[in-house]
Amino acid sequence: MFEFIFSPEGYQVILFYVYSAILIGAALAVVTMRNSIYSALFLILAFFSAAALWMLLEAEFLALTLVLVYVGAVMVLFLFVIMMLDIKIKPKSGMSNYTKVGIFVAILMGLEMIMLLGRKLSHVLPQDDLVKHAKGHSNVKEVAENLYTQYVLPFELASVVLLVAIVAAILLTLRKRDDYNHVDPESQVHVKANKNRMRVVKMDAEVGNNIGGEE
């Protein structure tokens, strides 16, 4: 037992349980916190722990991409919006209103997962040994080979769907107002000071008629 804890495998198992506990705790905190800023921060922690679990699966590229995309970009915009909205801290969290529905959905999802993983996909699950790849194994290459050969069509399709979603989201929120003094930086940066703004006038020097001079 003592030997196992100090072996790399044991360390990996301990890390797995630690990160899983943090992940579940953070996910619970997301829905129980009264302050929505805290909820968002706990969601970040949940993403982070999930990334750490993927790292334990030796899927370092996916783990880092999870951090990069969800933590580094998506959650920044989430926080951005929450801070702009000026939400008051509620006396109690909104969870109790949704407890029944939430438990129902959770049980349903659990059953679905058990049905899928317990019967249909049971052969793809690792039995009880840890994921171990040979030294020099590149997760990036593996992902790339799968994405660009076997799954190239679904992958491209997904990216087109995302592109359509981006265009749609921008179109839905793009509102043009006529009544504000819009500044067009495009035209501003193209102004040349000596052509468009200043006019240099040639004229003879004014000869003073002895102002302030000696009589």
Where do contacts with other proteins occur on this chain (CB under 8 A)? 3, 6-7, 37, 41, 44, 60-61, 64-65, 67-68, 71-73, 76-77, 79-80, 83-84, 138-140, 183, 185-186, 188-189
Whose Cβ is closer to other proteins: residue 91's or residue 213's?
Answer: 91
Q: How far is the CB of 11 from other proteins (least distance, A)?
A: 8
Question: How far is the C-alpha of 13 from the C-alpha of 21, rounded, in Å?
Answer: 12
The 3-state DSSP class for residue 94 equals coil
Q: How far is the CB of 129 from other proteins (least distance, A)?
A: 21
Question: How far is the C-alpha of 43 from the C-alpha of 49, rounded, in Å?
Answer: 10
Sign of CA dihedral 62, 67, 73, 79: positive
Question: How far is the C-alpha of 57 from the C-alpha of 130, rounded, in Å?
Answer: 8
Q: One-letter amino acid identity for 47?
A: F
Sign of CA dihedral 8, 10, 11, 17: positive
Q: How far is the CB of 68 from other proteins (least distance, A)?
A: 4
Neighbour count for residue 70 (Cβ, 10 Å)? 19
Whose Cβ is closer to other proteins: residue 77's or residue 171's?
Answer: 77
Whose Cβ is closer to other proteins: residue 88's or residue 123's?
Answer: 88
Q: How far is the CB of 183 from other proteins (least distance, A)?
A: 7
Whose Cβ is closer to other proteins: residue 6's or residue 17's?
Answer: 6
Number of H helices and E strands in the chain, helices first, is 9, 0
Q: How far is the CB of 46 from other proteins (least distance, A)?
A: 15
Whose Cβ is closer to other proteins: residue 73's or residue 168's?
Answer: 73
